[in-house]
Structure 1
């Protein structure tokens, strides 16, 4: 890791714990995403993810379930990446809500 790395190990752990929202539907999407995809994101996407975690659970739910779009268009790409990852890893024995 370089000195310029956007998120050090401590900051990443903090983001992991903030990804655990306590709402089952959000946890199923955010926790696997940070575990498997976060490190491969660009700095811009990592910061967008951090910004996303500062949002209210009700808003996150609507955005991740594709019921609404965020007011901040800068969040749309990271939301799309999270949803796409969740859909790509969904197994046949898991039924959509």
Structure 2
């Protein structure tokens, strides 16, 4: 499983800085706690082009695939909570 995890971690690297930060933070803090099916759809989501990921994660468009949509929701919830914690430290 470690080689698969390394492959998934590499796929988290994106061309857009915003996506790189959001997806990598989620991977580092939450990936190990996901169910196997969630991990599969997380990886499937990573196969999409950055333009789609940007629309889903930042512009609030909804993916057609319901399972990928569930992963997008998890990432967005984590990002909001994580961002709030970071902002409180600097206030």
Please report the TM-score for the alignment, with normalisation by the length of structure 1. Answer: 0.83
List aligned pairs for 1:10-89, cutoff 5 A: 10-89=3-82
The answer for unaligned runs of 5 or more in structure 1 is 1-7
Distance, in Å, in 2 between the alignment partners of 1:33 and 1:41 is: 11
RMSD: 1.2
Tell me the CA shift for residue 67 of structure 1. Answer: 2.6
Distance, in Å, in 2 between the alignment partners of 1:63 and 1:47 is: 18
Please report the TM-score for the alignment, with normalisation by the length of structure 2. Answer: 0.88
Is 1:92 aligned to residue 90 of structure 2? no
Instruction: Indicate conservation of the 8 Å contact 2:15/2:50, yes or no.
Output: no
Distance, in Å, in 1 between the alignment partners of 2:61 and 2:34 is: 24
Runs of 4+ in 1 over 3 A off after TM superposition: none
The 3-state SS of whatever aligns with 1:67 is coil
The answer for unaligned runs of 5 or more in structure 2 is none
Work out the number of aligned pairs and report it: 86
